[in-house]
Amino acid sequence: NMTAEVQEQFSSIGGQSESIVFSLEDGCLEIHITWINGNQSILASIMDKTKADGLTIRGSTWKVSFTGCSEA
């Protein structure tokens, strides 16, 4: 499932996910992640990597923006 795939991609942060919420509208996938007790420096590295490389879920790679779909 999509939640497990996102958790796997962020698992190196440590800690655990509190919630992962998906919204798909007009070809834009929004993912809101709340993560507890993670390593902030690893999180920053993962965020940079996903912004550069995209996020792959169910075999599709999605462009990543941290300011919303209109900026992707």
**What integer pLDDT is reported at residue 11 of this predicted model?**
80
**What integer pLDDT is reported at residue 70 of this predicted model?**
65
> So where are the chain's domains?
2-65
**What integer pLDDT is reported at residue 72 of this predicted model?**
43
Q: CB-hemisphere CA count at 13 Å for 17?
A: 16
Residue-wise pLDDT tens digits, 3-40? 888 888 888 778 888 888 888 888 788 888 888 877 77
State the average pLDDT over residues 45-58.
Answer: 84
Residue type, position 35, single letter: W
- Residue 61 pLDDT more than 80? yes
pTM (2 d.p.): 0.64
